[in-house]
Amino acid sequence: MNAIATIAPAVDIAPLRGFVTSFAELLSGTRDEQAVLDSGHALLQRLVSRDDWLPAAYAKPSAERYQQYLLHCDSRERFSVVSFVWGPGQSTPVHDHRVWGLVGVLRGSERVEQFERDGAGRLRRRGEAEILEAGSVDSFSPRTGDIHRVSNALADQASISIHVYGANIGAVERATYAEDGTEKPFISGYANTTLPNLWDRSRK
């Protein structure tokens, strides 16, 4: 990954700064995964309940594929925050995470399909696809199943979600999956080479 600099946002990024600070405090108080997911759910829901803080540089779709923009990575890599930007109809492959995660839809709508292995090791869809609307929050974990496929549920506009992961997700070796369950390792990296400047309060 290229070195990432900081740039000043053109919007009031205080909600993201508050979220990052609160999440770091949460992890300093507990490492119990379920407690983190439960409390983190409320924090992320508060963040995505308003859509006026994400800088435009981290909300740009690409015609080629969905974009994963790093917004913040904890200095000890305990968690990272990213914006996922989906162009109309774009989708991920079936993939895993290998760390816990929270997803809050900021703008638009997303379709989530969960998968699990059958007795022969092949993948099968688990339950019905779920549609996540703006303001909703979902979570996942390797201990409960974290293999899924996500797509923009809208065919005519972009959708954006804010993801929080229990690691520097752009550096985690994960896998995509073929229908027969075959894994293909990948490390996602990030689409951006700059970070939003969370810490400059001089413009208040």
With a CB cutoff of 8 Å and minimum separation 6, the contacts of 195 are: 4, 5, 6, 7, 70, 71, 72
Write the pLDDT tens digit of every residue in 16-38. 999 999 999 999 999 999 999 99
For position 135, what pLDDT does the model report?
97
Contact criterion met (CB below 8 Å) for 97 and 174 = yes
pLDDT (average), residues 30-56 = 97
Write the pLDDT tens digit of every residue in 98-114. 999 999 999 999 999 99
Both tokens assigned to 163: 């993801």
Domain residue spans of the chain: 13-194
Contact criterion met (CB below 8 Å) for 171 and 92 = no
Q: Which CATH number fits domain 13-194: 1.10.1330.10, 2.60.120.10, 3.40.1160.10, 1.10.3720.10?
A: 2.60.120.10
For position 3, what pLDDT does the model report?
54
Which band of pLDDT confidence, cut at 50, 70 and 90, is reported for residue 202? confident
Q: Poorest-confidence range of 1-10, 136-145, 168-177?
A: 1-10
- Minimal CA–CA distance to 83: which of 155, 19, 175? 19
User: Token pair 């059958």 is at which residue?
Assistant: 118
